[in-house]
Amino acid sequence: MIGNHNQIKERAKYGFTLVELLVAMAVFSISASAIVGLFGSAVKIQMSVLERQSILDNISYSLEYMSRALRMAQKDLGGHCIAKGYNFQQLDGPSSVRFLNYDGDGKCEEFLLKDGQIMVRKSSDNSKDNLSSPEPLTSSRITVENLIFCLSGEEQGDELQPKVTIGAVLQSQKGKTQEIRVQTTVSQRNLDVQY
């Protein structure tokens, strides 16, 4: 027992050996590398989550805006904005829809896909001739890859309640790593009756 105690005292005089220092440095380096790697992965995951949240925020706002307007759309009895007796109409393909909005006398309004953004055009009256230039509903940091409006019951005599199904595919412009697909259906608030 005394021999072991003397060996320990003797060893303490000289400190650590080179092998012991190298092993300690290797363990520390491996531990530090693992911690830095985990931190880097956590930062990448957080950035991905924030990117996805930005896309969701954009499409949530756009869908809410379009849904409210389409739900309150009026039948065009005069045929100034769209065909006479129609509730909604697609004039430029499935990526656009035109209708009379619910404001006062009913102004002509259109949602469309242009330059990778969901846009809105509004007129100062109920005529399609006075439609403004398109204004974006989505952020320029988001690219809308696809926007489709599927109409049902848009005509006066089809005996169907008017509804619009909106489908969209959105991507972030940061590396195009995040893609979100959404779809919703909006039924017109007023009953579609013969006038």
* Chain mean pLDDT for the chain: 85
Q: What is the pLDDT of residue 31?
A: 92
Phi-psi category of residue 113: left, alpha or beta, with phi > 0 → left and psi -120 to 50 → alpha:
beta
Does residue 12 form part of some domain?
no
153 sits in the region (left: phi over 0; alpha: psi -120 to 50; else beta) called left
With H, G, I as helix, E, B as strand and everything else as coil, classify residue 91. coil
> Is 24 contained in some domain?
no
- Give the range of the structural domain holding residue 124, as residue numbers without chain letter: 46-187
35-61 confidence digits (pLDDT tens): 999 999 999 888 888 888 888 898 999
Q: What are the tens digits of pLDDT across the range 84-100? A: 888 889 988 899 999 98
pLDDT digits (tens, 9 = 90+) for 177-186: 678 899 999 9
Classify residue 31: in a domain, yes or no. Answer: no
Q: What is the pLDDT of residue 159?
A: 77
Provide the number of structural domains found in the chain.
1
- In this model, does residue 76 exceed pLDDT 60? yes
- Per-residue confidence band for 135, with pLDDT thresholds at 50, 70 and 90: very high
Report the first-to-last Cα separation within the chain, whole angstroms: 110
- Evaluate whether residue 28 is within a structural domain: no
- Assigned domain for 55 exists: yes
- H or E, element range at 35: helix 18-71
Q: Going by C-beta distance under 8 Å and a sequence separation of 6 or more, which residues neighbour residue 101?
A: 69, 72, 73, 74, 107, 108, 109, 122
CA distance 138 to 60: 10
In-domain check, residue 179: yes
Average pLDDT over residues 10-32: 83
